Chain A
Amino acid sequence: RKEVEQDPGPFNVPEGATVAFNCTYSNSASQSFFWYRQDCRKEPKLLMSVYSSGNEDGRFTAQLNRASQYISLLIRDSKLSDSATYLCVDFRGGGYNKLIFGAGTRLAVHP
């Protein structure tokens, strides 16, 4: 089983739609998670952190469900510029500081 699993998509949605991605993680001891965004042929960029209490940043909301070991990202009012691959990340601290990336979910927003 992969350490972080995501539906690769693509998710094709019209502008203005609400779309949600989930990802599951295998390490029950993991504490910190992130969503990164990667545009085509570009570097990954941090989108937002994921907290147990949830985290909202404008149109983006991230949630963590520890009992079920999954993380979600909700994007409201999708824009064309949201088209990208969204990477779910398990952060392993404890002195090692490893980011364990999922393979990513591709989102395509069309007019």
Chain B
Amino acid sequence: DTAVSQTPKYLVTQMGNDKSIKCEQNLGHDTMYWYKQDSKKFLKIMFSYNNKELIINETVPNRFSPKSPDKAHLNLHINSLELGDSAVYFCASSQNRAGEQYFGPGTRLTVT
């Protein structure tokens, strides 16, 4: 009965590769997010979707492309991975664009 789930939990890959991270929520929320937490533990929003519509797109390289096939899913595809992409990526969801957000367990991405 996991609320927000992400796969994979760990991802180790080489520079230049393309990878995807998947997120699913079973809370019935209408808004989903991607956050990046870097090595200094700073958590920063990347994207937000409300009812499959992109509403937040922070200054993120266009190598990062989110896709929301439906309200319960938000995937993140990353092209041409770079060393600086190494971080923990968290998916989150909320109802009605509220401040109470529920986070997934995170995907720890390591680019070598």
Chain A interface (Cβ < 8 Å from any Cβ of B): 32, 34, 42-46, 49, 85, 87, 89, 91, 93, 95-99, 101, 103-104
* Contact (Cβ within 8 A) B99 A95: no
State whether B42 touches A103 (Cβ < 8 A). Answer: yes
Chain A residues in 8 Å Cβ range of B43: 44, 87, 101
12 further contact pairs, Cβ within 8 A, besides A42-B105, A45-B103, A97-B31: A43-B103, A43-B104, A43-B105, A46-B101, A46-B102, A49-B100, A91-B99, A93-B97, A95-B97, A98-B48, A101-B42, A103-B42
Question: What residues make up the interface of B, taking CB atoms closer than 8 Å to A?
Answer: 31, 40-45, 48, 50, 55-56, 90, 94, 97-106
In the complex, are the beta carbons of B56 and A43 less than 8 A apart?
Answer: no
Measured CB to CB, the closest approach of chain B to A38, in angstroms, equals 8
Q: How far is the CA of A46 from the CA of B100 in the complex (A)?
A: 7
Q: Which residues of chain A come closer than 8 Å to B100, judged between CB atoms?
A: 34, 46, 49
CB-based contact B55/A96 at 8 Å: yes
Give every chain A residue within 8 A of B103 (Cβ-Cβ). Answer: 43-45
Picked from A46, A97, A101, the residue with its CB within 8 Å of the CB of B55 is A97
Q: How far is the CA of A103 from the CA of B102 in the complex (A)?
A: 18
CB–CB A97/B97 < 8 A = yes
- In the bound complex, residues from chain A placing their C-beta under 8 Å from that of B101 are 46, 99
Min Cβ gap B81→A in Å is 22
Whether the pair B105, A93 counts as a contact (CB closer than 8 A) is no
Select A99's contact among B50, B99, B106, beta carbons within 8 Å: B99
Separation of A86 and B110 alpha carbons in the complex (Å): 25
Kindly provide the distance from the CB of A49 to the nearest chain B CB, expressed in whole angstroms: 7
Residues of B within 8 A of A97 (CB): 31, 48, 50, 55-56, 94, 97-99
